[in-house]
Chain A
Amino acid sequence: MITEFLKPKTIIEAVQLKQATPDAVYMAGGSWINSSRSAMNPETVISLNELDLNFIKQDQDTLRIGAMTTLQDILDNDLIPDYIKGNLKLFRNRNIRNQGTLAGAIAAKNPAFSILTVLIAAEAQLETPTEEISVEKYVTSDCSALILAIRIPLKAAVCSNKHSITARGVSLVSVAAGVFEKQIHLVVAQDGGKIERLTDLEIALNGDSLPDRDELAEKVSKVVASFDDYRTSAAFKKYIAGVMLADCLIKAAKGV
């Protein structure tokens, strides 16, 4: 049970508190930390509520989203590109989106949060107190730096999809394709598995015209590593990742 709730007034203070209590966790909305599903059960949390991190700003061709901005506020904001809205609309439900933040979703590093594939495909960056780091690097490493803001380039054409059992069920397989200044980004995440960029395939596809959707799907399926679990087989997940990502890439390439 959480017994200590620290409320720093500044970012420096927040970082110092974390250094002083390494087991403490940063809390934005708390929808994941407080859920019995997360099984985090920290004793000390460092609330970000009193930091001035609730904003959405456009800075030329980049969008900056403060760490305390809720998912629903992002969804309701006119500055947000449709590809992000389309994905966030499928994120759990309105109550969770009213409480949860994008920074929290990133910090949870949960492959079932399909928005992560979108952010990686869009080459989104994170502002932390000490450095700027890509979302990809953050979620695929053990980095636990305090996220201050998310920077999303607006020039990317991104398309995403997910497979879940019910419409709002856990995303078992999430995919996103981004086309950014003619560079292709392909991302796959599997619940119970990992979030990964298909970099070899990206390199193979960059610079050439895209193959047809079935060939593309087959190429993706071949490079995606998967596993059987109680819900689906590895063969299904590889197949569906291929089909979904091929369709996404073709759409993204068309700038849809």
Chain B
Amino acid sequence: MKISFTLNGLKKTVLTEAGENVQALLQRLGIFSVRDSDDHQGFCGSDTIIFNGKTVNAGLLIAAQIDGADIKTIESVMKDGKLSAVQSAMVDCGLVQSGYNSPAAALMLTGLLERNPDPSKDDIMDALSPLFSRSAGYQPFFKAVDLAKKRMKDPNYKTEGFTEFREDLREVGKVRRKIDGHQLVAGHKAFVEDMVEPGTCILKMLQSPYAHAYITSIDTTEAEKVPGVVTIITHKNCPDVYYTNAGQGAPEPSPHDRKLFNQKVCYVGDRVAAVVAETEEAADEALKKIKVEYEVLKPVFTWDDAQAPDAPILHKSFVTYGVGAPEDLDEYNKNADPRDGKIHYPFPLRADPHHNLAASVKGGIGDVEKGFQEADVIIDRTFATTQIQCTPTEPHVVFTKMQGDRLVIHASTQVPFHLRRVVAKVLGIPETKIHVIKERVGGGFGSKQDVILEDVAAFATYSTGRPVYYRYTRNQEFNTCSTRKPMRVRVKIGAKKDGTFTAIQMDNEANTGPFGAHALTVPMNACSKNLPLFLCPNMYFTVRIYYSNIMPTGAYQGYGAPKGAFALNSTVAELAEQLGMDQIELMRKNMVHEGAVLEILRCLGEGREGTPALVQSCGLEKALEIGSKMIDWGKEEASDDPDIKIGKGVAIIQQGSGLPGLDHSNAHILMLADGGFSLHSGAADIGTGLDTVMAKVVAEVLNVPLSQVTVMSGDTDHTPFDTGAYASSGTFFSGNAARLAAEDMKQKILQKAAEYLNEPVEDCVLEYPAKVKGKKGEITYAQIAYNTTTGHGSGQLQGIGSFITENHAIPYGANFAEVAVNTRTGEIDVRKFYALLDCGTPINPELAEGQVFGGVLKSIGHSLYEGIILDKDGKPLNDNLQDYNPPTIYDLPKDFQAPLVFTKDPDGPYGGKSISELATNGAAPALAIAIHNACGVWIREWPFTPEKILKGLEKI
């Protein structure tokens, strides 16, 4: 049918099907800002448009409904390419992080301010009620609306309400506009889906209906005959290459236990066959015509079942080792079943796959048994956490194409260089034949650290020569993606009567699902990011990770730390109660401080021997001091309602700043013709503002305004190697590499300036802005650039920086919660949440604050609401956002604050340390302790539901 409507003030007439989805139609018309995050279910609001004056979800409209309508998108609010007051306020308040649905949020707020120029907090929440965003935890929106109101009257109104740091610096620690903020909030082309070219084939996957089965036959003959089908890939015609999809540094501490397609399917949703076709319809028809027969096996879903003597085995595989093979390997392999394929360990992980053990480790310091013997009190508790979905608003997506004999991968990834390495291995080609371009990433949170779908699209393109687009549906995000590993953590603490810890033991079991990506390192993190919080001479830990037939697991923001923090802090709180001590007093008596040496890290290296760490900066005491005052720690709060009981909780937390001794970042900087600088870094900014961190550091070193620095990052052809955005490495590693490159450039500028000024180099100094001053004269960078790049010059100035370290820059923090528990309904109301985090020098204070709100709210969601639930056959029951229940703006704590605790780490770039992962670690224990304080019930399993409260109170 033909429909006519007004789009952003212009009349449009288009030919369409009556039922064409309007979100898809607008994309077809070149409006990229209207996106789909929820399979058109109206949950995320990424598809928000203004339809006849009101915001609606384009994905819930069909084309016939907009015939004659007036449609506006974000493009309508910008004038002359400039951001509106709402848009600029959102960027300046740190809200535009991953940015996937920032244009939608801007439209919602634009509509709000048009109908109500002075909205209340409730009005703002109502306006943003259609928005789902994980990045900045909603809280900064209240500040942004206030700023937008002021900018509507005065477009030059300055950003306010943020604490800035380091008066001695110009850019670092100051509120500056995120360098990709404009692009994202304006809805410009930025994401993988925006790069797809006409004529690109669609990839669709046939997924296993069984949790555990052998494919006994697969017939694609009829499917291949469907017009438009280009190729079908199965275990029969895929490369015989085993790898891990974990985006970790090589050699990875993860077993290489999968091929592109395996003969054995190991979870509901596992890959069976990929159809590549010229149209979606052809792909769908072909999927229906693939004939598969299965030999269905008994599945196993829990760690207890996985380690049972008669447990079904997922990987009765033929095992090989890169180094360190056990002597009895030949004997071990006699039990292998060829249909289970192979597993290769680059180095030993103390695994026993023939008994579902994916990896294990144990270690400690001192003598833990002696420590328990010396204790006056011993407490021993066990905790469990659930399988959590990362829920990025941009689903996993990839676009692959050939450029000559080279494969180009447009990726939404946290690890462009690891992605290139893994794909090169799978395809059996040199890395020189692959170009990975990391586009803007619409939310990663760990799940885009792994090679989730790029491998199969890359193979499809490389083997057919055809461009291929593969985008997960939201449903696939839930049934065939990477998730947080469920864990069971037992903590045993021995203490003297005065509270001095004599021994701590931590026993961890994790469920890695069908593959061993991050199997060892996630649960190890429960130990390595928590045990060092306390200075106890005797510590011991065990970690055992089991295969099972749940959906795949991998990395998630915080890695294993939030689970360990939940268990350890809760046990410490219970111990304090037993000792009759205040919890903070008990923590202070034992906790880490500046100058301490963390011996326990010697045995917690990730796949290698670790090194003890000297704590050079620690804001823990300051965080506890400030937070205690904010929440009035120790004061009992009463409610007017006798059903309501109020309680308070606190947790101390730490994370890392990358992986010393493992991570590695590089940067390269060029002086441009006008004296500005172009930084080339392998770092992957996934929305956190890492590009802005690096630009600020460079501007600071080189004494130029931020506008004089541009950043090219995450492109394997055009930037040097970086391990990627994980383990909280960005600011510390990539930021330091940028600093070193800038410092190298600084020396070269000084040398050239000295030469041109004819003065000794020691007499020359950089002066703001962009010049070198000697004792006799001065020269601008622009003049130096001109001199060096003329035909007689010495060539363009270039600086390089490479950062490795054995030093740790550990970020610390304390989380305080106040909850009101309704003892009649079990309802938990989070009245106050104060997250006080020490990230050293906050280089981007407004973005850091947003990341704390985002991380904490995620963690509140994990603690109170979320968790994937499987039916008895392994099929996820809550496989969409509405049933999965992540928090929205209405779930914010009533009083939510995130003061940044300043410290100055000597190894961080200008004192900076990491922040975003740390923010996810403290909510679970702070809430659990507050709930107990309120109503006397200890909940030791996520999520903390009203039903568990009522059971604890023996009401049901």
State the A residues within 8 Å of B (CB): 1-5, 30-31, 34-37, 47, 49, 72, 89, 92-96, 98-99, 163, 165-170, 230-233, 235-236, 239-240, 243-244
- Determine the main DSSP class of A at the interface with B: loop
Hey, which chain A residues are within 8 Å of B955, CB to CB? 239
CB distance from B786 to the nearest CB of A (A): 55
CB distance from B645 to the nearest CB of A (A): 16
Q: By the criterion CB–CB under 8 Å, are B956 and A239 in contact? A: yes
Q: By the criterion CB–CB under 8 Å, are B60 and A169 in contact? A: no
Q: By the criterion CB–CB under 8 Å, are B882 and A170 in contact? A: yes
Q: By the criterion CB–CB under 8 Å, are A233 and B947 in contact? A: yes
Q: By the criterion CB–CB under 8 Å, are B39 and A36 in contact? A: yes
Q: By the criterion CB–CB under 8 Å, are A244 and B825 in contact? A: yes
CA distance A196 to B883 in the complex (A): 23
CA distance A95 to B132 in the complex (A): 12
Q: Which of A96, A98, A168 has a CB less than 8 Å from the CB of B890? A: A168
- Determine the main DSSP class of B at the interface with A: loop
State the B residues within 8 Å of A (CB): 1, 17-19, 21, 39-42, 45, 48, 51, 54-57, 59-62, 64-65, 108, 126-127, 129-130, 824-826, 865, 869, 871, 877-878, 880, 882-883, 885-888, 890-891, 945-947, 950, 955-956
**Residue ID in chain B nearest A44 by CB atoms:** B18
Using A36-B40, A37-B41, A37-B880 as known contacts, say yes or no to A168 and B888 having CB atoms under 8 A apart: yes
Using A3-B19, A232-B947, A243-B825 as known contacts, say yes or no to A94 and B126 having CB atoms under 8 A apart: yes
Q: What are 20 residue pairs bridging A and B, where the CB atoms are less than 8 Å apart in the complex?
A: A3-B19, A31-B56, A34-B40, A34-B60, A47-B65, A93-B45, A93-B888, A94-B108, A95-B42, A95-B60, A95-B129, A98-B55, A166-B890, A167-B890, A170-B885, A230-B877, A236-B947, A239-B950, A240-B826, A244-B825
CA distance A235 to B871 in the complex (A): 20
Hey, which chain A residues are within 8 Å of B51, CB to CB? 98-99
Hey, which chain B residues are within 8 Å of A34, CB to CB? 21, 40, 59-62
**Residue ID in chain A nearest B55 by CB atoms:** A95
Hey, which chain B residues are within 8 Å of A232, CB to CB? 945, 947
**Residue ID in chain A nearest B42 by CB atoms:** A96
Hey, which chain A residues are within 8 Å of B59, CB to CB? 34
**Residue ID in chain A nearest B475 by CB atoms:** A36
Q: Which of A1, A37, A93, A169 has a CB less than 8 Å from the CB of B130? A: A93
Lowest 4 A-B CB distances belong to which pairs? A2-B19, A5-B64, A167-B890, A95-B130
CA distance A5 to B66 in the complex (A): 12
Q: By the criterion CB–CB under 8 Å, are B878 and A92 in contact? A: no
Q: Which of A98, A169, A235 has a CB less than 8 Å from the CB of B882? A: A169
Q: By the criterion CB–CB under 8 Å, are A95 and B41 in contact? A: no
Using A5-B18, A230-B869, A239-B956 as known contacts, say yes or no to A30 and B55 having CB atoms under 8 A apart: no
Hey, which chain B residues are within 8 Å of A235, CB to CB? 956
Q: By the criterion CB–CB under 8 Å, are B17 and A3 in contact? A: yes
Q: By the criterion CB–CB under 8 Å, are B130 and A30 in contact? A: no
Q: By the criterion CB–CB under 8 Å, are B871 and A230 in contact? A: yes
Q: By the criterion CB–CB under 8 Å, are A167 and B888 in contact? A: yes
Hey, which chain B residues are within 8 Å of A3, CB to CB? 17-19
Q: Which of A1, A94, A168 has a CB less than 8 Å from the CB of B55? A: A94
Hey, which chain A residues are within 8 Å of B130, CB to CB? 93-96
**Residue ID in chain A nearest B892 by CB atoms:** A167
Known contacts A3-B17, A35-B42; 8 further A-B pairs (Cβ under 8 A): A2-B19, A36-B41, A95-B42, A95-B60, A168-B890, A230-B871, A231-B869, A243-B824
Hey, which chain A residues are within 8 Å of B877, CB to CB? 230
CA distance A142 to B891 in the complex (A): 37
Hey, which chain A residues are within 8 Å of B62, CB to CB? 2, 5, 30, 34
**Residue ID in chain B nearest A229 by CB atoms:** B877
Hey, which chain A residues are within 8 Å of B878, CB to CB? 230-231
Hey, which chain B residues are within 8 Å of A239, CB to CB? 950, 955-956
Hey, which chain A residues are within 8 Å of B871, CB to CB? 230
Hey, which chain A residues are within 8 Å of B882, CB to CB? 37, 169-170
